[in-house]
Structure formats: C-alpha cells, structure tokens
Amino acid sequence: MASTSLAQSGTAQSTLIVGESAHAEGVERMLASFRAIPAERRVRLAKKTSNLFRARQSAQGPGLDTSGLTKVISVDPEARTADVQGMCTYEDLVDATLPFGLMPHVVPQLKTITLGGAVTGLGIEATSFALGLPHESVLEMDILTGTGEIVTARPGGSEREQSLYRGFPNSYGSLGYSLRLKITLVPVAEYVAVRHVRFHDIAELTKALDSAVTNKAYDGEGVDFIDGVVFSGDEMYLSFGRMVSADEIGADSRPSRYDGIGDKQAIYYRSLQHPSGVATDVLRIRDYLWRWDTDWFWCSRAFGTQNPKVRKFWPQQLLRSSFYWKIIGLDHKYDLGNKIGALKGEGPRERVVQDVEVTIDRLPDFISWFLREVPIEPLWLCPLRLLDKGDATTAGAGPGAGRPWPLYPLESGTTYVNIGFWSSAPIEPGTSENAWNVRIEEEVSKLGGHKSLYSDAFYDEATFAALYGGEHADRLKAEFDPDGRFPTLYDKTVRAR
C-alpha cells in the first residue's frame, strides 16, 4: 500500500469515508425531499456546485436534498473498488483513494465535478485513451427514478436493470439521479513524469497521437496519460505522462506544482510551451490530476489572474475552477462581460464553450477548419476509446443499436479525439447571437462527429434523436420517468429547461 503522503491533503481521509449508516441517512433525506415535492412539479437536484454551462430558460422547481450524499461510503483496497455517493466531488474522491495508492480510472480536470455528474455527463481525461470513460468503471449504481423507486442498475442484472445501466450515461438526470455508485479503481505511483512534445503541423501531431494511443507508448517509453494543446497552426503539443516512483525521479528532483503553492506565478499551460522538441516535467500524482483546475485550463486569464501583479495578491485558495464558476454565475446573471466590453467600445460577444468529438482521422480537418474560421485559441485535445468491446444486443433497436452506450454516439474499437474550447467570439454584424456555436455544430456534424451536452446545443429534434438515442431514449424515459418528473434529454440540453 502506498504511503499517506500520496494524498497531500489537509482534509482528513476519515472525514471523507462515511460508512453505510451515514449513507442510509443521506438516502432517507433525499427521499423525504422527493416526497415533499408536489407530484405535478418538476424535480431537480439542489447542489452547491455545478459544471453545467448552459443557462436555464425556465424558473427552477424545488430541489432534492443532496446534502447527505456527498462523500465516499467505503474503499476496498484489496478488491480495488470504492462505494461512492452520487454527489461526491472528484476532489474528495481522489483524497479518499490516493492514500490507498489508488485512483478512479478517469479523473475529470475540474475538482467539483461529481462522480454522478461525470457518469451521466460523460467525463473525460488524459487516461481515457486507455481506461475509457467514467461510466465504464461503474460496477453498479443506485438510481432514484421518476417514480421515487431506487433501482440498482448493473450489467449482470435483470433486463430492466441492465437497460438503465446502459442508458444512464448521457441521460443528464432525465431518467433519474445516481445516489450510490460502486466503481473500480486503478493503482497509482507517487509521481507523473511528463514529456511535452511540440509539433508544427496538425497532420504530424495526429500521426504521433494515433501511434501513441495504439501502442500505449511514445518514442519507446510507456504512457499512462495523454492530452494536448493547440495554440496555433504552428504551435501544438502532446503531453505524455508516465507514472513513476520516488526512486525513478531521484532524490534531487523537485517536482513542479501549479496550484499557487511554491512558485505562485507558475501556470501549467504556459509550462508546455517551448521552441521545439521535447520539454520534461515531474509532478506529484495529486498535483498532476489537478494541473488544469488552478487556472481552469487557461480560462482564468479572463479574470486577470494570469497577470503577475494580480496573481501575486490573488489568494491561493481562490485559484481554483469552483471560484471562477462563481464569477461566471455573476456574468450569466448580469451580462457583465458584454457591459464592460460596451464601456470599452467593443461589440457584443457570443460565448463559445464546447467539447466536441471526432474520429482521429478527422482531427486534421476539424483543427484546420477551426484555426482558419474561429477566432478562439487555445484548444484542448484528449484522445479516448471505449473500453467496452460492444454488444449490439444490449442497445436494442433504433439509433442506439450497435452502440454499447445507446444515448451517446461512440462506437467500440474506434479512437476519438475530444477537442475543448471555452471562450467567446465577437458577434459579426448581420449574424445571429448563436452563429458561432451553430457553425461549429454544423462542421462537427459534417465530419461525422458530435458534442458533449453540458453546454449550449442547437440541434433540431431529428438530428438530435439520430445522435443521442432517439426512440431508445424515449422508451427508457417511459419506463423510468413515466410522469415526466424530470425534463426530457432534449428539453434539458437543447431547450435548456
């Protein structure tokens, strides 16, 4: 078992692992709040944090009490599994498992993303090329459905339990809310050694990426983590991470950290940049997992925190994505960005916050088009492959047939690349306020790709049905939420209701 120093956390692990009876109490509280909501009212989660970008159009109904469902129930280091409450953040989950020398298969980059949110919303990270997506490490999960029943969804269960297990990923709470998830964990080493390799051309980068994903190695060395950043058509990087022990890094090595402790001016995405060849770095495992959270990838620059003078005085504990979310919340509410822009004589801007996925062979087409047409940079790249070998019979007929996870259009045995961009672009005269998002959506569709549904989406109903489960999703909805206590997937993700 690895030493507790792996956790590097001020939070005592014991307060994160609460046991069965606390979980039972949390479930009771949640059920009581469900029963208290009148049958004709819509039900929603009342959570303190969210990583959902789209603004909601309608007034929100009463919320479910999630306060007793935010921790880890137990960790079994021998079996390498954890029983986790649905609203447990990855920050807490990681702090509970690292002392055992274990981590979840996929740890999304933002600390307040919850396990339930990542499983229903298709989280992704640099392990996804080898370890799939968060829902693929779920052994079973308890889901509160629209009828108030708790169904344990699992692969080897009854047909009903299996269909909910398969349909839950990408359902975004339209079928029910996960209260407990049993997941498998993977062993970690104490450090991650990273090689940032510069490319000057997207075709070259794509070739290297494809080979590294297939061989789980780059330049003769094994890789456990892969992601990348495109700054421009001439400056792009793949970052290959490998877990290494203290012995391997050597006694003199001083691992870097990018969380504002130590060198406060250190910014992870800037550490990638160099003129040519390979730059190397070493981080403790926990610092590697949260490397993107401190500056919310690069998005913190919008708040001034990358200006050295501002950063010097910015409290270290507020260098984190959850704090930037609070500022974004104010911007959504008061349209601050556009108002400040107007004072400076700038025109209105459209928010363009999206993650899209194309098959790896279409990556050069998409990146070349994007760099030519859309005034946004940098872009984040993350390769992914489903772990599931695929079983057409599990998905049923309709648009989901042949996909292991029928509500999301990923095929087994194919390498995809997730491309993330989170910024804004000027609204051009004579175009609609959603023009950039719509153009990107059209280009992605043209290339046979699709996008994550955590942000704005503009698909018409037919296109949406073809991509995201169609009649299969309708059948699941009729089975698990017959009275429409939760919005449909289309209402939630496109109509933002």
Site string for ligand FAD, 219-258 (x = CB under 6 A): ----------------------------------------
- Can residue 116 be called a binding residue for ligand FAD (CB under 6 A)? yes
Q: Measured from the CB atom, is 34 or 246 closer to ligand FAD? A: 34
Query: Do β-strands 191-199 and 278-284 pair in parallel, antiparallel, or remain unpaired?
Result: antiparallel
Which range of residues in 45-53, 149-157, 185-193, 248-256 is near ligand FAD by CB under 6 A? 45-53
Q: Measured from the CB atom, is 252 or 483 closer to ligand FAD? A: 483
Structure tokens that stand for 332 in this block: 């959504």
User: Which of 13, 114, 170, 306 is in the footprint of ligand FAD by CB under 6 A?
Assistant: 114
- Can residue 129 be called a binding residue for ligand FAD (CB under 6 A)? no
User: Which of 26, 99, 101, 123 is in the footprint of ligand FAD by CB under 6 A?
Assistant: 123
Q: Measured from the CB atom, is 249 or 382 closer to ligand FAD? A: 382
Q: Which residues of 405-423 are buried (b: 16+ CB within 10 A; e: fewer)?
A: bbbbbbebeebbbbbbbbb
- Can residue 51 be called a binding residue for ligand FAD (CB under 6 A)? yes
Backbone angles phi, psi at 224, to 5 degrees: -110, -20
**Angle of CA points 241, 182, 400, to nearest 5°:** 80
- Can residue 167 be called a binding residue for ligand FAD (CB under 6 A)? no
Structure tokens that stand for 420 in this block: 């993330």
Contacts to ligand FAD from residues 4-23, by CB under 6 A: none
Contacts to ligand FAD from residues 66-85, by CB under 6 A: none
Site string for ligand FAD, 322-361 (x = CB under 6 A): -------------------------------x--------
Q: How far is the CB of 79 from ligand FAD (least distance, A)?
A: 23
Q: Do residues 59 and 80 touch, judged by C-beta distance below 8 A?
A: no
User: Which of 13, 70, 120, 206 is in the footprint of ligand FAD by CB under 6 A?
Assistant: 120
What is the largest distance, in Å, between two alpha-carbon atoms of the chain?
Answer: 65
Which range of residues in 173-181, 257-265, 266-274, 384-392 is near ligand FAD by CB under 6 A? 173-181
With a CB cutoff of 8 Å and minimum separation 6, the contacts of 406 are 166, 167, 395, 396, 398, 399, 400, 469, 472, 473
Which range of residues in 50-58, 190-198, 213-221, 227-235 is near ligand FAD by CB under 6 A? 50-58
What Cα–Cα distance (Å) separates residue 251 from each residue in 6, 246, 248?
17, 8, 9
User: Which of 17, 52, 72, 88 is in the footprint of ligand FAD by CB under 6 A?
Assistant: 52
Q: How far is the CB of 467 from ligand FAD (least distance, A)?
A: 17
Q: Do residues 452 and 51 touch, judged by C-beta distance below 8 A?
A: no
Q: How far is the CB of 394 from ligand FAD (least distance, A)?
A: 20
- Can residue 172 be called a binding residue for ligand FAD (CB under 6 A)? yes
**Among candidates 480, 490, 494, 419, which has minimal Cα distance to 166?**
480
User: Which of 146, 173, 469, 470 is in the footprint of ligand FAD by CB under 6 A?
Assistant: 173
**d(C-alpha 415, C-alpha 219), whole Å:** 20
Which range of residues in 104-112, 205-213, 357-365, 462-470 is near ligand FAD by CB under 6 A? 104-112
**d(C-alpha 375, C-alpha 454), whole Å:** 22
User: Which of 86, 99, 404, 406 is in the footprint of ligand FAD by CB under 6 A?
Assistant: 86
Q: Measured from the CB atom, is 190 or 320 closer to ligand FAD? A: 320
Binding site for ligand FAD (CB under 6 A): 45, 47, 50-53, 86-87, 108-109, 112-114, 116-118, 120-121, 123-125, 172-173, 177-178, 353, 420, 422, 454, 492
